[in-house]
């Protein structure tokens, strides 16, 4: 039953994202659009943590989902991650990369608990936890020098 619900949620997310025509911020967008994501995800505020290579923008949605958007020194979001009791709106988080995810997810569904996709333009991992979801998406060629994408959470 749990596996069937997860599959239904993933398919519903793909369908809803495909019919949405509004422009969304997210992965690959300028960091100024993080505020747009905050509103779209119904997060209360944004906390920014600065490092020498990037800024981490943390958004905490009312539904308990925590989203991190990582922007490089040029101001582009090169990675996003999330964890929480619900799947956030992937159209918002993935931005222009959502179409690639939707096409691949629909064409070749993987495990009902883990979905991974890797290409030259997108590395994506979505995991169904016992009581929620976690995920990470990275634009491989945009990760700042010296940053390990596995450390972005």
Task: Give the C-alpha distances (Å, rounded to integers) separating 151 from 55, 69, 70, 147.
Answer: 13, 13, 11, 8
**Run of H or E residues at 133:** strand 132-138
The answer to whether the CB of 43 falls within 8 A of the CB of 28 is: no
Q: Kindly report, residue by residue over 97-115, the tens digit of the pLDDT.
A: 999 998 888 776 666 788 8
**Residue 70: its pLDDT value, please?**
96
The pLDDT confidence band at residue 31, using thresholds 50, 70 and 90, is: confident
Q: pTM score, two decimals? A: 0.79
Measured at the alpha carbon of residue 21, what is the angle toward residues 36 and 17, in degrees to the nearest 5? 85
The answer to whether the CB of 73 falls within 8 A of the CB of 54 is: yes
Q: Kindly report, residue by residue over 6-23, the tens digit of the pLDDT.
A: 444 444 343 333 333 333
- The residues spanned by each domain of the chain are 2-143
């Amino acid at each position: 039953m749990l596996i069937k619900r997860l599959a239904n949620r993933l398919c519903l997310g793909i369908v809803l994202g495909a019919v949405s025509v509004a422009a969304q911020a997210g992965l690959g967008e300028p960091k100024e659009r993080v505020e747009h994501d905050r509103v779209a995800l119904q997060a209360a505020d944004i906390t920014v943590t600065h490092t020498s290579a990037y800024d981490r923008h943390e958004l905490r949605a009312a539904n308990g989902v925590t989203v991190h958007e990582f922007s490089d020194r040029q101001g582009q979001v090169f990675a996003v991650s999330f964890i929480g009791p619900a799947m956030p709106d992937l159209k918002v988080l993935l931005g222009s990369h959502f179409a690639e995810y939707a096409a691949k997810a629909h064409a070749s569904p993987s495990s009902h608990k883990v979905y991974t996709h890797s290409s030259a333009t997108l590395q994506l991992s979505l995991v169904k936890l016992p009581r929620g979801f976690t995920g990470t998406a990275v634009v491989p060629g945009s990760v700042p020098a010296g940053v390990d994408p596995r450390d972005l959470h």
